[in-house]
Amino acid sequence: MSHTAHPIPSVRLYVTIWITLGVLTGLTVLAGYQDFGFANTVIALAIAVTKASLVVLFFMGVRHNTPLTKVTAIAGFVWLFILFGLGMSDYLTRHWIGVPGR
Amino acid sequence: MAEPSTPLGPGPLPAAPHGAAVAVDHAHHHPRLQHHFYSMEQQLEASILAMWVFLVTEIMFFGGLFMAYLVYRTLYPQSWLDGSSTLNVPLGALNTFVLICSSLTMVMSVRSAQVGSRRGQIVWLIGTILFGTTFLVVKYFEYAAKFEHNLVPGPHFSTAYIVEHLGRTGVDPHSTQLFFSLYFIMTGIHAAHMVVGIGLMTVILIMAWRGRFTPDYYGPIEVSGLYWHFVDIVWIFLFPLLYLLGLHGGHGA
Amino acid sequence: MHDTAIKRQSYLDAPYGIAAWLLTRDHKRIAMMYLISITVMFAMGGFFASLVRLELLTPRGDLLTPDLYNKAFSLHGIIMVFFFLVPSVPATLGNFLIPIMCGTKDLAFPRINLISWYLYIIGALIALGVIASGGVDTGWTFYTPYSTVGSQTPVTAAIIGVFIAGFSSILTGFNFIVTVHRMRAPGLTWFRLPLFVWANYATSLVMILGTPVVAITVLLVGFERTLGLGVFDPRLGGDPVLFQHLFWFYSHPAVYIMILPGMGVISELVAGVSRKQVFGYSFVAFSSLAIAILGFLVWGHHLFVSSQSIYAGMVFSIITMLVAVPSAVKTFNWTVTMYKGSVTWESPTYWVIGFVGLFLIGGLTGLFLATLGLDIHLTDTYFVVAHFHYIMVGGMVMAFLGGLHFWWPKMTGRLYPDGFGKAGAILVFTGFNLTFGPQFILGYMGMPRRYHAYPDEWQVLNVLSTAGASILGLGYLLIFCYLTWSLFKGERASDNPWGVTGLEWETTSPPPTFNFYTDPIVTEPPYHYKQPVPGREATTIG
């Protein structure tokens, strides 16, 4: 699969993505000023993930890349979740044992 | 990127046997094709894959910091709110937008190479460098403010600013320092990556000025762009996680 | 005539001169430069091990002060892990063989390969500088808060050395990944690749995904020491166990970085000495990937007795048992490969058998440690020390030496006297078992690791261990001597002195700079031996 075989993205596409990213930034700031309780974090992360995906797919061109490159990109984030997930499994379950001081 | 390297010994390359996937013909191959690759396409794909593999290492590098953030925010949510409330949201948002603009100028410069516009490459690369520098300047002012308000962890740290100027109560002088340690380290390492990125773009700019990049050879500028966008993505996550926590003044998670 | 033709074209001879070596992009030359460098570091690490073993000859701490002893075992660990084991097979045999086994002229990024060597050298020089200024006493594990606020030794410098060496390994790994994916010769599908390539590919995945985490972790220790930015400081509410989580997230997979390439070597040697296709090739290939992936899910077994949650401990314990399975698959398959193969008794065979037996013991003892209840008793004792040395030395070092003996004719164009090769293997095997076998017993009886004094009743076992270490050292010295001798006086090797399959054996010994005279096209699976013929004359050399 050739990278050069795909049509070069248009300026309009890039500008659209740029505007979208700007709007999402504004949105995340606005949402930050509201009190949604725990949902604040969820919303902030959801917007961040969306922005990051737009950059990865369109600005970094992963849309056009080989499946191998796509797997590589995804693998990095999956590994991050292994670190977060298994690591937090310690901190979140420490108090289950009910021993004083633990 | 430099003159093609020759890991070969003396003598001409032997002709590939009949039926081989690709025949290498010295007379016609691109001057930028390195000898151990058999086509420009293979070289470009290898370079893109290589940069992504490197970016995976960067994801894990920052990942360790995000892990520390995750642990301590879970353990000390109040300190996280207190610390975050001292950060300048308008400046942070401006910086986020500045980086987004720099990503746009970055893709535009790659695109200019792809369509063969030398002038376009130069203009957009200069734009990228300018936006990157702006980011760093804003960061400098933010850091200066922290020093001024005695919010740098260590012997001079004081919660006075948080208590007196922001009216927050019950601020823990110990765990709040954890927030600021992570703030400085995470944004500092990010800024260091920006500095490297600006250096990289300067090199690319010089190469673009010399007309190195053409529609069939733009690997270095594309691959450098990937690095630049990655640094932007890290900030996309840093901004909400560091700046937007204590905004509503509530006691959210 | 043919002889002079080889000399003119060999990668060793052309181009000539020191600058041509120091600025080379030839993966084979870089491999040889790495070989020299890691041998120097191995000697350094061995020196500190001998200090430890000498001290432990007597129950009292009478040779070294406690501080010096702490530095001795710390430096032994740091050097052996970061500057010997991690680069050992990948940077030497891997760099040399992977492009050739892929049928191509070089790795994907030859200049980055050279940079990785320079980074290694810089890291090693920093480590040597740390040693010269007194060394560090934190253990190779740099646990906080001792490494951040307690130790008065040059920890920051040591960290920088480790960081740079880690970056060097990342560059090696990333080069391998791109090469194996994008530069295989025509016809060379994944399932025609030698298992050595699969193993190094899996290792490279671990290097890429794990090393950056230890990089940032040691950097955080450095920031805390130099800038006072406390992240692990308990006085601020920081958690020293967080350091352990982040450190072991890399350091457990690191042990797979250290052993997987050795397993790759053994796969090649087993097929070669048995003249037979490796039994269950695809199982062995996939087991390398399984080990690489599962290896990331078990790091908490180093934290069983820290304040880590018991429930997380249970999860880590179960997954640790699981990660033994792919290793067992490999061991089983290697053994079955040799069964009814036409095995010849040359020195590589000795290394293979030594590896399989010792790796088995090392692996099985890991299961004891993975069991939560048992680990309470065994953790931080000599049982752990014996366990990991069985894998790292009995396994990895023997695999490395075995690979060196197997591919020595290819890399240098010289043969060593096979009698010495066998003697070296026997000395190392004997010395090794005498050194570390008693340590299992010592650990079970409760002797803690990192202590320079112990009760009198353990002296006999310690003396045996030190005696074994002397024999082991002699073995290494013998090997170094005859291999170096062979460079000058050894008989010249033919293209394929062992009579085995593989792309590397289809080119000259040593290969030309561009690896092949005609670009290979692969049409057969690896290890495509004809059925073993009963009564076949064994091939011997020397």
Interface contact flag, B45 C182, Cβ < 8 Å? yes
User: What integer best gives the mean pLDDT of chain B?
Assistant: 86
Q: How would you write C17-60 as a 3-class SS string?
A: CHHHHHCCCCHHHHHHHHHHHHHHHHHHHHHHHHHHHHHCCCCC
Q: Is residue A76 within 8 angstroms of chain B, CB to CB?
A: yes
Position A101 scores a pLDDT of: 58
Of C330, C459, C415, C449, give the one whose Cα is nearest residue C59.
C459
- Give contacts of B114 with chain A, Cβ < 8 Å: 8
> What is the C-alpha to C-alpha distance for residues C100 and C105, in angstroms, rounded to an integer?
7
Task: Write out the DSSP string of B141-166.
Answer: HHHHHHHHTT-SSSTT--SHHHHHHH
> What is the C-alpha to C-alpha distance for residues C333 and C217, in angstroms, rounded to an integer?
38
For every one of its 542 residues, what pLDDT tens digit does chain C have, with 9 covering 90 and above? 444 444 457 899 878 889 999 999 999 999 999 999 999 999 999 999 999 999 999 999 899 999 999 999 999 999 999 999 999 999 999 999 999 999 999 999 999 999 999 999 999 999 999 999 999 999 999 999 999 999 999 999 999 999 999 999 999 999 999 999 999 999 999 999 999 999 999 999 999 999 999 999 999 999 999 999 989 999 999 999 999 999 999 999 999 999 999 999 999 999 999 999 999 999 999 999 999 999 999 999 999 999 899 999 999 999 999 999 999 999 999 999 999 888 989 999 999 999 999 999 999 999 999 999 999 999 999 999 999 999 999 999 999 999 999 999 999 999 999 999 999 999 999 999 999 999 999 999 999 999 999 999 999 999 999 999 999 999 999 999 999 999 999 999 999 999 999 999 999 989 999 999 888 999 989 988 876 555 444 443 32
Nearest to B68 among C107, C235, C242 (CB): C242
Instruction: Give the pLDDT confidence of B178-223 residue by residue, as tens digits.
Output: 999 999 999 999 999 999 999 999 999 999 999 999 998 999 999 9
Chain B closest CA to A100's CA: distance in Å? 17
Position C532 scores a pLDDT of: 52
What is the predicted ipTM?
A: 0.91
Q: pLDDT band at B33, cuts 50/70/90? A: confident
Position B10 scores a pLDDT of: 26
Cα Dmax for chain A: 65
Chain C closest CA to B8's CA: distance in Å? 5
Which of A86, A92, A95 is most worth mutating to test chain C (most C CB atoms within 10 A of its CB)?
A86
Percentages helix, strand, coil for chain C (3-state, rounded to 5) are: 70, 0, 30
Alpha carbon separation from C477 to B201, C33, C392, C473, C474 (Å, rounded) = 51, 20, 19, 6, 5
Contacts of C79 (CB under 8 A, 6+ apart): C41, C44, C45, C48, C127
Contacts of C44 (CB under 8 A, 6+ apart): C79, C128, C131
Position B227 scores a pLDDT of: 97
> What is the C-alpha to C-alpha distance for residues A39 and A52, in angstroms, rounded to an integer?
20
Q: Is residue C229 within 8 angstroms of chain B, CB to CB?
A: yes
Q: Is residue B116 within 8 angstroms of chain A, CB to CB?
A: no
Interface contact flag, B63 A79, Cβ < 8 Å? yes
User: Minimal Cα distance from A76: which residue of C?
Assistant: C209
DSSP alpha helix (H) spans, chain B = 40-75, 77-84, 89-115, 118-148, 160-166, 175-209, 219-243
Chain C closest CA to A89's CA: distance in Å? 6
Interface contact flag, C309 A94, Cβ < 8 Å? yes
Chain B closest CA to A78's CA: distance in Å? 10
Interface contact flag, C297 A102, Cβ < 8 Å? no
Preceding amide of C240 cis, omega within 30: no
Q: pLDDT band at B248, cuts 50/70/90? A: low
Which of C298, C306, C310, C372 is most worth mutating to test chain A (most A CB atoms within 10 A of its CB)?
C310
**Contact criterion met (CB below 8 Å) for C403 and C89:** yes
Q: Is residue C189 within 8 angstroms of chain B, CB to CB?
A: no
CB contacts under 8 A, B 135-154 vs A, are none
| Bigger pLDDT: B7 vs B83 | B83
Position C7 scores a pLDDT of: 47
Residue type, B153: P
Position B21 scores a pLDDT of: 39
- Give contacts of B33 with chain C, Cβ < 8 Å: none
Which of A10, A19, A29, A64 is most worth mutating to test chain B (most B CB atoms within 10 A of its CB)?
A29
Interface contact flag, C310 A97, Cβ < 8 Å? yes
Interface contact flag, B67 C26, Cβ < 8 Å? no
Interface contact flag, A89 C296, Cβ < 8 Å? no
Interface contact flag, C513 B64, Cβ < 8 Å? no
Q: Which residues pair with B217 in a beta bridge?
A: B214
Asked if the model's pLDDT at residue B30 lies above 90, the reply is: no
Interface contact flag, A59 B115, Cβ < 8 Å? no
Position C534 scores a pLDDT of: 52
Q: Is residue A66 within 8 angstroms of chain C, CB to CB?
A: no
Q: pLDDT band at A95, cuts 50/70/90? A: confident
Of C81, B241, B226, C86, give the one whose Cα is nearest residue A84.
B241
Position A97 scores a pLDDT of: 80
Q: Is residue C174 within 8 angstroms of chain B, CB to CB?
A: yes
- Give contacts of A92 with chain C, Cβ < 8 Å: 309
User: Minimal Cα distance from A101: which residue of C?
Assistant: C307
Contacts of C65 (CB under 8 A, 6+ apart): none
Cα C164 from chain centre: 18
Q: Kindly state the percentage of chain A with pLDDT values over 90.
A: 69
Instruction: Give the pLDDT confidence of A37-58 residue by residue, as tens digits.
Output: 888 889 999 999 999 999 999 9
Position A96 scores a pLDDT of: 86
Interface contact flag, A28 B244, Cβ < 8 Å? yes
Cα A22 from chain centre: 16
Chain C closest CA to B32's CA: distance in Å? 14
Tell me the backbone φ, ψ of residue A8, rounded to 5 degrees: -70, 130
Nearest to B7 among C25, C229, C518 (CB): C25
Interface contact flag, C296 A79, Cβ < 8 Å? yes
**Contact criterion met (CB below 8 Å) for A56 and B233:** yes
Q: Is residue C237 within 8 angstroms of chain A, CB to CB?
A: no
Scanning the structure block, which residue is given the tokens 């401990």? Answer: C313
Chain A closest CA to C410's CA: distance in Å? 33
CB contacts under 8 A, A 55-74 vs B, are 55-56, 59-61, 65-66, 68-69, 72-73
Asked if the model's pLDDT at residue A26 lies above 50, the reply is: yes
Instruction: Give the pLDDT confidence of B87-113 residue by residue, as tens digits.
Output: 999 999 999 999 999 999 999 999 999
Chain A closest CA to B250's CA: distance in Å? 7
- Give contacts of C316 with chain A, Cβ < 8 Å: 86
Nearest to A86 among C209, C297, C307 (CB): C297
> What is the C-alpha to C-alpha distance for residues C221 and C227, in angstroms, rounded to an integer?
10
Which of A4, A14, A59 is most worth mutating to test chain B (most B CB atoms within 10 A of its CB)?
A59
- Give contacts of C174 with chain B, Cβ < 8 Å: 50, 53-54, 57
> What is the C-alpha to C-alpha distance for residues C244 and C232, in angstroms, rounded to an integer?
10
- Give contacts of B237 with chain A, Cβ < 8 Å: 48, 52
Q: How would you write C51-103 as a 3-class SS string?
A: HHHHHCCCCCCCCCCHHHHHHHHHHHHHHHHHHHHCCHHHHHHHHHHHHHHCC
C495 secondary structure, DSSP code: S
pTM: 0.92
Asked if the model's pLDDT at residue B172 lies above 80, the reply is: yes
